[in-house]
Amino acid sequence: MQSERNVELTVTDDGHCIHFQAMASPCEVLIANSDGKLALTLGELVAKEVWRIEDKYSRYKPTSVCSVINESRGKAIAIDQETYLLLNFADTCYQLSEGVFDITSGVLRQVWQFDGSDNIPSVDAVKKVIANMGWHKVSFDEQQIVMPENMEIDFGGIGKEYAVDRAMIIANEFTDLPVLVNLGGDLAANKPRKDNVPWQVGIEHPGFIERKPMVVSLLQGALATSGDAKRFLLKDHVRYSHILNAKTGWPIEMAPRSITVVAPQCIQAGILATLALMQGEQAESFLTEQEIKFWAIR
Amino acid sequence: MQLKKKKPPVNLKAALTIAASALLGTIPKTVVAAENTTKSKKALKDSSWDFESALLFYSESDRVSAAEAILNGQKTFENDEVLNLKLTVDVLTGASANGAAAQPNVQTFTRPSGKGSYQTQVNETPLDDTFKDTRVQFNAQWTQPLAENYTGSAGVHISKEYDYLSLGINGNLAYDFNQKNSTFSVGLSYFQDTFEPEGGIPLAFASMPAAFGSTIDNSDKKADFNASRRTDSDDKSTADIMFGFTQVINRRMIMQFNYSYSKVDGYLNDPFKVLSLVDSTGIAQDYVYENRPDSRLKQSLYAQTKYHFEQNIIDVSYRYMWDDWELDSHTIDSKLRVPLSRQSYIEPHFRFYKQSAAQFYQPFLVELNTLPEFASADYRIGEMRAYTLGIKYGTTLSDGNNLSFRLEYYRQDPTDAGHKALGALSEVDLYESVNAIIAQVTYSF
C-alpha cells in the first residue's frame, strides 16, 4: 500500500514545520523563518529526496534496488554509484563490527518474531537460516553486486539515517537558514535554531508507551536511536531483545532497550547506536570509552 | 574458558566519519583526527609506483615480425602530481615490400647497403628481406595541477634505432569547467628526427645501382653506388597542435572531440623504397628511388563516445584525417567491454580503416612518360582498406594485479585507384593484401 504522499505546512513559534509520511514514520522539517512559501518549497524538496530513497532502497517496494538484488538468484546485478557507496558503507560497518553488524542478517526474521510471545526458535532452525547469511559471501564493486541465491540484504539499519543526511545536504544547498530534519526520531540540524539557542527535540522511544517523550537539546549535528522496547520474547523469565547478533543468529544478551547517540552525521549516530546495542551489557561503557554522547534506556 | 578479548575501541569514531563522508560526499570539518587518518592513508598509497608491463608480438604472413616489450611506471605524488615513465623496446625482423611491382620473371634487387642482392620469384611482390632493427624508446611525462581547474603536463621523448634518432618535447594544458563535467585542452608537440640509413640516402629517382661484393675489385660498382647517393643523413621536424574537448553527458556517457594540425618538414621519403620503371609491355627496365614532397600538412578530426550500459561498456570512435598530399582517411574503432564476473572481462574489438591514395602515389612508372615531380609506390600511401578484428581477455588476480591477453587479426587490402596495368602487369597482383596477427600480454602490478 502506498501511503499518501503529500506535505503539510504548519506555523510554529518561530518558524515553520512541514510534515510528511515516509519510511513508515512521521517525518518533519523544521525551518526557522517567516516565509511560508520558502518553507514549503524546502519541505517538498526534502520529502521528495526521502521518498526517492525509500523507493530505491526499501525492501518492501518490489521495484526497489534492494528487491532487485534480493531476487537476483546469484546473478550479477548492475548498480549505480549511490548504491555502491551505500554498500561500501555497510561493508565498513561489517568490518568494524567484525561481522556483528551485517546487512544480510534480515533473513533471521524467518525464525525470530518478536511479538512478546515465548516463541523461541530451535537451535537447528537458526542454524539453517544462518547458512543464508554472511556479507563476506557477497561480492560487489562499482559496477555490480553478486549475491548468492537465498540470501537477502536490507538497508533497514542505515537507510533512514542516510535519508536524514541526504535531506540535510539538499536543505543546505537550498538555504542558509537553520533547518532540522526529523525522520521518525532520526534527525539532524545544520545549525542552532537561533544564536546559541538549541533545538528542543522530543525523542519518542519506540515501545515505551508509559514513558513521556524524552526532550533533548541539540545545537547542531545528528541524533539516531536504536532499539525498540516493545519488541522482545520472554521465555522462562529470560527476556530476549530483538537485537540479533549476525554471527550467532541469537539475540544479544543484556542489551539496553534503546540507545540514542549524537554524532556529526546521522548515519554515524545510527551505526554507533546499533553497534553499542550489540555490545550487550557493555553498551554504555563502549560509548563512554569512545567519548560519544548518548542516552540509554534499560 | 576463553577470555573475551576486548578490542581497543580507538578510531571507531574516526573510521565511521571517513566512511560517512565517503558515502555522503562531504568533508567533515569537526573531526580532526579523521582528516589525519585520511591523509596518512593517502600518503601511504602515494609512496608506491604502479607498473604495467606488456609483451606484444606482431607477425605479417611472410613479411615483417616484431616483438615489443613495454614497461610503464607511474607515480602519483601528494599534490596530485603524476610522473609517468615508459620504456619500449622493439625488435623488427623480416621482409617488407620495396615498392617494385611483381613481374612474370625473376627480379634481382640491390640491398640498401649495396653489399649484395636479393631475388624475387615470378609473380611475387618484391620484398626486401634485410629488415632487422632494434628500437629503444623512452618517454617521460609530468602532470600537475597548476591552479584551480587547470592541469598542466610536459614530457620528453627519445627514440633510437640503428639508423634513426627521434627527439621530442610536448606540453599540454587542460581546463575543467562546468563542475568538471567539461574539459578543454590544448597541446603542443615538436619532434626532431634524424635518419642515417644503411648505405646513405639515395638521390630522388636515381636508378638502383648494381650490388658490389667485397672480395673482387669492385671499385667501378662502388663508384656507381656512391653516385646514386646524395648524403649520409637527413632529418625531418614535426610540429603538432591539438585542441580537445571532453564532455561528461551523464553518469553513463562521456564524449570527446579533438582537432589536430600537424606540419612535417624535411626528408619524408622512405630511403629503401623504389618504383619499377616499365616499358610499354609492362616489363621492368629499371628501378628508381622514390621521391616525396619535403613537407606535409596533416589535419584530423576525432570524436569518441563511451557509454556505460548496466554492465557493458561500449567505446566507439571515428577519425577523419586529411593532408595536402590529398591522402584522406576514415577510421572507425569500436570496443565492447563485457564483464564475465567481478574479476574478469572480455573485450571484442573491431576497427575499420579506409584511405585514399596520396596524389603522387603510383604503383609503377612508365618509361615513355615524362618523370613526375614526385612519385612513390609505397602501398602504405596508396588507396587501401584495413580491418582489425580482435578480442581481449582481462582478469584481476588474487593479489589484485591485472593480467590481460589480446589477440588480433589485422588485414590491409591495398586497392586499385584506377592506374591502368600495362601488359604483363595486368597478369600480376599489384595490390597484394597483407595479413597480420597481433598477440599481446599485459601485466599491471
C-alpha cell at B318: 571515428
The sign one gets for the Cα dihedral B380, B381, B382, B387 is positive
Q: Do A50 and A91 fall into the same domain?
A: no
How many whole angstroms separate alpha carbon B370 and alpha carbon B373?
Answer: 9
Residue among A89, A275, A290 whose CB faces B19 most closely: A89
How many A-B residue pairs are in contact by the CB < 8 A criterion?
77
Q: Is residue B72 part of a domain?
A: no
Question: Does residue B79 fall inside a structural domain?
Answer: no
Per CB-CB distance under 8 Å, the chain B contacts of A92 are: 15-16, 19
Establish if B132 touches chain A: CB-CB under 8 angstroms: no
pLDDT of B8 over the 70 cut: no
Distance between CA atoms of residues A133 and A112, nearest Å: 14
Query: B41-45: long-range contacts (C-beta < 8 A, 24 or more apart)?
Result: B42/B78, B43/B78, B45/B76
Is residue B367 assigned to a domain? Answer: yes
Q: In this structure, which amino acid lies at residue B373?
A: E
Residue B35 has pLDDT above 60, yes or no: no
Domain count, chain B: 1
Enumerate the residues of chain B whose CB falls inside 8 A of the CB of residue A146.
Answer: 341-342
Mean pLDDT comparison of A113-122, B26-35, B166-175, B226-235, highest-scoring range: B166-175
Mean local confidence (pLDDT), B195-220? 82
Q: How far is A108 from A126, CA to CA, in rounded Å?
A: 7
Q: What is the DSSP letter of A7?
A: -
The boundaries of the domain holding residue A37 are 1-59+156-191
- Note whether A177 and A253 are same-domain residues: no
Closest listed residue to residue B208, CA positions, set B308, B261, B151, B284 = B284
Q: What pLDDT digit, counting tens, does each position of B80-132 carry?
A: 789 999 999 999 888 899 999 999 999 999 988 888 889 999 999 999 987 78
pLDDT score of B30 more than 60: no
The C-alpha atoms of residue B23 and residue B300 are separated, in whole angstroms, by 43
Q: Which residue of B has its CA nearest to A262?
A: B13
Higher per-residue confidence, B20 vs B143: B143
- B33 touching A (Cβ < 8 Å): no
Q: Any idea which residue has 516493545 for its cell?
A: A230
Phi, then psi, of B352 in degrees rounded to 5: -125, 135
Same domain, A293 and A203: yes
User: Which pairing describes strands B164-177 and A144-146: parallel, antiparallel, or unpaired?
Assistant: unpaired
Does residue A127 share a domain with residue A40?
no
What is chain A's mean pLDDT, rounded? Answer: 86
Specify the DSSP element, H or E, that contains A160: helix A159-174
Grid coordinates in use for A63?
A: 521495484
Q: Say yes or no for a CB contact (<8 Å) between A265 and B22.
A: no
Task: Tell me the three state secondary structure of residue B13.
Answer: helix
- One domain, residues A47 and A109: no
CA B136 – CA B157 distance, rounded (Å): 11
Q: Tell whether pTM > 0.90.
A: no
Same domain (yes/no): A217, A287:
yes
Do A231 and A116 lie in one domain? The reply is: no
β-pair partners for B322: B299, B328
Per-residue pLDDT reduced to its tens digit, B330-380: 999 999 999 898 789 999 999 999 999 999 999 999 988 888 999 999 999
pLDDT at site A180: 94
B251 contact residues in A (CB cutoff 8 A): 80-81
Where residue B2 falls (left for φ over 0; alpha for ψ -120 to 50; beta otherwise) is beta
Residue B405 lies in a domain: no
Judge whether B52 lies within some domain: no
Among partner residues B15, B339, B342, which is closest to A92 by beta-carbon distance?
B15
Q: What are the tens digits of pLDDT across the range A151-180?
A: 999 898 799 999 999 999 999 888 888 999
Residues 6+ apart with CB under 8 A from B195: B163, B164, B201, B233, B234, B235, B236, B267, B271
* Cα–Cα dist A188/B301, whole Å: 52
CATH number at residue A234: 3.10.520.10
**Which residue range(s) make up the domain with B298?**
12-47+97-382
Say yes or no for a CB contact (<8 Å) between A290 and B13. yes
CB burial readout A91-112, b (16+ within 10 A) else e: bbbbebbebbbbbbbbbbeebb
Domain count within chain A: 3
If asked whether residues A116 and A246 sit together in one domain, one would say no
Partner-chain contact B311 A275, CB within 8 Å: no
Verify that A44 and A5 share a domain, yes or no: yes
